[in-house]
Amino acid sequence: MDLEQINSPADLKKMPVEELPKLAAQIRRFLVESLSKTGGHLASNLGVVELTIALHYLFDSPKDKILWDVGHQAYVHKILTGRRHLFPTLRQYQGLCGFPKMSESVHDCWETGHSSTSLSGAMGMVAARDLKGEDFKVIPVIGDGALTGGMALEALNHIGESKSDMIVVLNDNEMSISPNVGALHNHLARLRINKSYNKMKDEVQHLLKKIPTVGVPFAKTLERIKDSLKYLVVSGVFFETLGFTYLGPVDGHQFPELMEILRLAGKTKGPVLVHVITRKGNGYKPAEDDSVVYHGVGTYKIESGVFKKKGGPPSYPDVFGKTMVRLAEQDDRIVAITPAMLTGSKLDRFNEKFPDRCFDVGIAEQHAVTFAAGMATQGYKPVLTIYSTFLQRGYDQLVHDVCKQNLNVVFAVDRAGFVGEDGETHQGIYDISFMRNQPNIAIMMPKDENELQHMLYTAVQYEDGPIAIRYSKSAGVGVPMDENLKLLPIGKSETVRNGRDAAIIAFGNMVQPALEAAESLQLNGFDVRVVNARFAKPLDTEMLDQLAAERIPVVTVEEAVVAGGFGSAVLEYYQEKEVYDLPVKIMGVPDVYVEHATIAEQRRETGLTAENIADAVNRLILQRNPENMRA
Ligand SMILES: Cc1ncc(C[n+]2csc(CCOP(=O)(O)OP(=O)(O)O)c2C)c(N)n1
Ligand SMILES: CC(=O)[C@@H](O)[C@H](O)COP(=O)(O)O
Ligand SMILES: [Mg+2]
């Protein structure tokens, strides 16, 4: 049998077990070829080929529930569950999603995209199963990176105590996106060293039994055990102490051992943790050599792994990373904090130059926010660089630990707005709404990459509490970069185009399309003002009062949800000032989840193009002055 004949786990189970290595090779070749044309998460998927085959070979999805933490490594699962033919549409408009998606297959029992949710979801399924007296396996597959996420540890705590039957598969490749970090990671390292853990465990259990039951003798004896066993010590007891049966470590690329340990896990009562050692990028040398670069890839040449170059202006994250280095050279108070997105946030250079002032805290956004708050209390200027979508994880910390205490934390909210191919789980479109309701925070967004450097400079000089700069992942507009950085007046907008028939107040990366809309309206004889809002909080109330005084109809536009966004702030202001007769139209993301596509397609889908803006302004003007209606 060949890969072409595998369209379901049932087909896979017909394959003789000795043919599985050949199938693994075919799947690897398929992944490398397909993703060379579409891009996607290559290295993580290459690392789980044998593991995914073994899970679908031994267990019975969809009756047995296999959950994929983060879900970026679920391509092999999708190949084995009848979606191979959809891979040419991977992460494209109305194509195959890059993460598990229930609407795609019954085998996708749990949707992911954000890290560290699989164990909690699995525990929920297990509790329901046991309440109903049903009988199926629940198998969350979680990476060593995702295991550093707070939610995962909360779930381990609950699962261990519950004593419920569950098979947790820990896919340990020593990598998050960057090399994994943290004490837990170091802890796993000890296990990786020790191949004879189970034998060692018996010896230690024997020793432990001799220990007096409580108090100092216990601790001293345990210390003695650790010292004597050094790195071969049963740090795996960590999982066992939590109530798991720990199995492993096992080589995740060798079928015989892998199948045997998974069979054993399937027969073991209570919570089991199978520690699988894999290599991220396995089987494709460029990805093996650099799994950071090949974690998420664009299109590339298969033989060399060389990416097809994208020219054009620097991206907003590029400009952010460069400006951070420049500012940190002048200001020792500046520290950078990232929750496991060092490379994505373009902090590599900063980390090289200021290793003591760059903190990768792992996939731990809640901790990252409050850690930043702690540093701010001691006079540092923490710049917490965090994707908008992942800041959602640290919301209570933003409220309770930063804003309420009014601490000088800079939130560098990266990937703000549409993110393109990562789709609905990663869109950066909610942060204005969830930050704006906090009394002490200032929120700004640059119209172009040049203004981003000025905003970052302004933010690190700002001493009146928390301030957020949000910026897109995309390339900048292509404007020249000023040599000297300048402070921007807080809460002040900038009129970038004059006009008296209407005004478009655009936030951040919507200024460009607003200017294009105004140009096209000029052709209709309409003279439209464009204002670069710069701040969603505090608002430029002088500018708003001026528009009200001139009775100019207003369209606001932002690449973020309408609910609670920038436009809502403008409306709330006019309501508060009892300005009732000024036409104000808010343009933003409607009440929908915006699926994977290009950013341009996502703007088209949500009505946020220059054409849509021009249309909205046109309608507003004509509504007020029907005589302007042109034949
Ligand atoms: C809450 C959250 N924070 C950050 C990310 C970004 N992210 C995606 S994959 C990844 C690393 C995951 O490492 P691991 O779980 O070990 O999986 P591997 O890629 O090694 O297979 C990170 C940090 C995310 N998806 N969710
Ligand atoms: C799966 C995941 O969450 C990350 O890999 C994310 O896709 C990174 O996004 P960027 O590619 O925008 O850095
Ligand atoms: Mg990993």
What is the pLDDT, as a whole number, of residue 201?
A: 52
For residue 365, indicate whether it is catalytic. yes
- Choosing from 393, 447, 470, 497, the catalytic residue is 393
Phi, psi angles (nearest 5°) of residue 403:
-70, -50
Using the structure block, give the residue that is written with the tokens 């709330």: 572
Choice among 163-177, 265-279, 450-464, 613-627 with the minimum mean pLDDT: 613-627
Q: Which residues are annotated as a binding site for Mg(2+)?
A: 144, 173
Sign of CA dihedral 508, 309, 427, 351: negative
559 CB-near residues (< 8 Å, 6+ apart):
416, 417, 418, 429, 472, 507, 508, 509, 510, 588, 589, 603, 608
**Residue 232: pLDDT band with limits 50, 70, 90:** very low
Sign of CA dihedral 246, 247, 249, 252: negative
Choice among 155-159, 181-185, 342-346, 541-545 with the minimum mean pLDDT: 181-185
Question: How far apart, in whole angstroms, are the C-alpha atoms of residue 528 and residue 88?
Answer: 43
- Choosing from 28, 190, 280, 534, the catalytic residue is 280
**Residue 227: pLDDT band with limits 50, 70, 90:** very low
Q: Is the pLDDT of residue 256 over 90?
A: yes
Q: Are 563 and 442 in the same domain? A: no
For residue 190, indicate whether it is catalytic. no
Q: Which atom of ligand 2 is nearest to the CA of 99?
A: 1
In a domain, 261, yes or no: yes
251 touches 277 (CB < 8 A): yes
**% of the chain exceeding 90 in pLDDT:** 88
627 CB-near residues (< 8 Å, 6+ apart):
none
Q: Which residues are annotated as a binding site?
A: 72, 113-115, 144-146, 173, 284, 365
What is the pLDDT, as a whole number, of residue 191?
A: 73
93 touches 372 (CB < 8 A): no
Question: How far apart, in whole angstroms, are the C-alpha atoms of residue 15 and residue 13?
Answer: 5
Ligand sitting nearest the alpha carbon of 178: 1
**Residue 234: pLDDT band with limits 50, 70, 90:** very low
Q: Which atom of ligand 2 is nearest to the CA of 295?
A: 5
Q: Is the pLDDT of residue 74 over 70?
A: yes
pTM: 0.93
Q: Are 111 and 201 in the same domain? A: no
504 touches 404 (CB < 8 A): no
Closest CA to 449 of 558, 316, 312, 346: 316
Kindly provide the residue ranges of all beta strands, DSSP E only, lying in 415-481, ordered along the sequence: 442-444, 467-470
What order do you get walking across the sheet with 358-360 strand by strand?
A: 358-360, 334-338, 381-387, 410-414, 467-470, 442-444, 535-537
For the segment 399-424, the average pLDDT, to the nearest whole number, is: 98
Q: Is the CB of 415 under 6 A from ligand 2?
A: yes
What is the pLDDT, as a whole number, of residue 197?
A: 47
In three-state secondary structure terms, 237 is helix
Q: Is the pLDDT of residue 620 over 80?
A: yes
In a domain, 308, yes or no: no
Rg (the chain; Cα; Å)? 27
Q: Is the CB of 389 under 6 A from ligand 1?
A: no
Q: Is the CB of 144 under 6 A from ligand 1?
A: yes
For the chain, count helices (H), then strands (E).
25, 17
Q: What is the 3-state secondary structure (H, E, C) of 368-400?
A: HHHHHHHHHHCCCEEEEEEEHHHHHHHHHHHHH
Q: Is the CB of 143 under 6 A from ligand 1?
A: yes
Nearest residue (CA) to ligand 2, atom 10: 344
- d(CA 433, ligand 3 centre) in Å: 33
Q: Are 29 and 170 in the same domain? A: yes
Q: Is the pLDDT of residue 105 over 70?
A: yes
In a domain, 508, yes or no: yes
Q: Are 340 and 395 in the same domain? A: yes
Nearest residue (CA) to ligand 2, atom 5: 296
Q: Which atom of ligand 1 is nearest to the CA of 341?
A: 23
Q: What residues form DSSP beta bridges with 529?
A: 503
Cα 364–365–366 angle (5° rounding)?
95
In a domain, 489, yes or no: no
* Residue range 511-561, pLDDT digits in tens: 999 999 999 999 999 999 999 999 999 999 999 999 999 999 999 999 999
Q: Are 285 and 375 in the same domain? A: no
The H-or-E segment that residue 159 falls in is helix 150-162
Sign of CA dihedral 536, 539, 545, 546: negative
Q: Is the pLDDT of residue 171 over 80?
A: yes
Q: Is the pLDDT of residue 355 over 60?
A: yes
Q: Are 596 and 519 in the same domain? A: yes
Q: Is the pLDDT of residue 391 over 80?
A: yes
- How many CB atoms within 10 Å of residue 238? 17
**Residue 266: pLDDT band with limits 50, 70, 90:** very high
- Choosing from 365, 421, 424, 605, the catalytic residue is 365
Cα 571–494–527 angle (5° rounding)?
80
- d(CA 364, ligand 3 centre) in Å: 15
492 CB-near residues (< 8 Å, 6+ apart):
534, 535, 540
Higher pLDDT, 624 or 258: 258
Q: Is the CB of 109 under 6 A from ligand 1?
A: no
What is the pLDDT, as a whole number, of residue 212?
A: 52
31 CB-near residues (< 8 Å, 6+ apart):
42, 45, 46, 49, 75, 76, 79, 284
Question: How far apart, in whole angstroms, are the C-alpha atoms of residue 331 and residue 43?
Answer: 38
- d(CA 278, ligand 1 centre) in Å: 15
* Ligand 2 mutation pick, 426, 427, 471, max ligand atoms within 8 A of CB: 426
How many Cα atoms sit within 13 Å of 237 on the Cβ side? 15
- How many CB atoms within 10 Å of residue 217? 11
Q: What is the dihedral of CA 430, 434, 435, 439, to 10 degrees?
A: 160
Q: Are 276 and 171 in the same domain? A: yes
- d(CA 196, ligand 1 centre) in Å: 29
For residue 559, indicate whether it is catalytic. no
Q: Is the CB of 115 under 6 A from ligand 1?
A: yes
Kindly provide the residue ranges of all beta strands, DSSP E only, lying in 416-473, ordered along the sequence: 442-444, 467-470
Q: Is the pLDDT of residue 192 over 90?
A: no
What is the pLDDT, as a whole number, of residue 233?
A: 34
Q: Is the CB of 173 under 6 A from ligand 1?
A: yes
Q: Are 168 and 88 in the same domain? A: yes
- d(CA 97, ligand 2 centre) in Å: 14
Q: Which residues are annotated as a binding site for thiamine diphosphate?
A: 72, 113-115, 145-146, 173, 284, 365
Q: Which atom of ligand 2 is nearest to the CA of 422?
A: 7
Question: How far apart, in whole angstroms, are the C-alpha atoms of residue 578 and residue 581?
Answer: 9
Q: Is the pLDDT of residue 98 over 60?
A: yes
What are the b/e assignments for 240-268, b being 16+ CB within 10 Å? eebbbbbbbbbbbbebeebbebbeebbee
Nearest residue (CA) to ligand 1, atom 17: 143
Q: Is the CB of 596 under 6 A from ligand 2?
A: no
Q: Are 225 and 99 in the same domain? A: no
Ligand sitting nearest the alpha carbon of 176: 1
Q: Which two tokens stand for residue 197?
A: 């853990």
- d(CA 295, ligand 2 centre) in Å: 8
524 CB-near residues (< 8 Å, 6+ apart):
618, 630
Amino acid in the structure at residue 24: A
Q: Is the CB of 53 under 6 A from ligand 1?
A: no
Q: Are 44 and 118 in the same domain? A: yes
The residue segments making up the domain with residue 565 are 494-624
Question: How far apart, in whole angstroms, are the C-alpha atoms of residue 285 and residue 291?
Answer: 10
Q: Which atom of ligand 2 is nearest to the CA of 419?
A: 12
Q: Is the CB of 393 under 6 A from ligand 1?
A: yes
Ligand sitting nearest the alpha carbon of 73: 1
In a domain, 299, yes or no: no
What is the pLDDT, as a whole number, of residue 549?
A: 97
In a domain, 362, yes or no: yes
**Highest-confidence range of 215-224, 306-315, 504-513, by mean pLDDT?**
504-513
25 touches 19 (CB < 8 A): no
Q: Are 130 and 264 in the same domain? A: yes
- Total domain count for the chain? 4
Q: Is the CB of 146 under 6 A from ligand 1?
A: yes
428 touches 417 (CB < 8 A): yes
Average pLDDT for the chain: 93
- d(CA 322, ligand 2 centre) in Å: 20
Q: Is the CB of 175 under 6 A from ligand 1?
A: yes
Q: Is the CB of 339 under 6 A from ligand 2?
A: no
* ipTM of this predicted structure: 0.99
Cα 595–534–425 angle (5° rounding)?
15
* Ligand 1 mutation pick, 49, 177, 192, 426, max ligand atoms within 8 A of CB: 177
The CATH number of residue 122's host domain is 3.40.50.970
Q: Which atom of ligand 2 is nearest to the CA of 415?
A: 12
Q: Which two tokens stand for residue 473?
A: 């992942």
Q: Is the pLDDT of residue 224 over 80?
A: no
What are the b/e assignments for 576-611, b being 16+ CB within 10 Å? eeebeebebbbbbbeeeebbbbebebbbebbbbbbe
What is the pLDDT, as a whole number, of residue 236?
A: 72
- d(CA 141, ligand 1 centre) in Å: 13
Q: Are 83 and 187 in the same domain? A: yes
Q: Is the CB of 340 under 6 A from ligand 1?
A: yes
The strand pair at 528-532 and 494-497 is best described as antiparallel
- d(CA 42, ligand 2 centre) in Å: 12
Phi, psi angles (nearest 5°) of residue 50:
-65, -40
- d(CA 454, ligand 3 centre) in Å: 37
In a domain, 221, yes or no: yes
In a domain, 475, yes or no: no
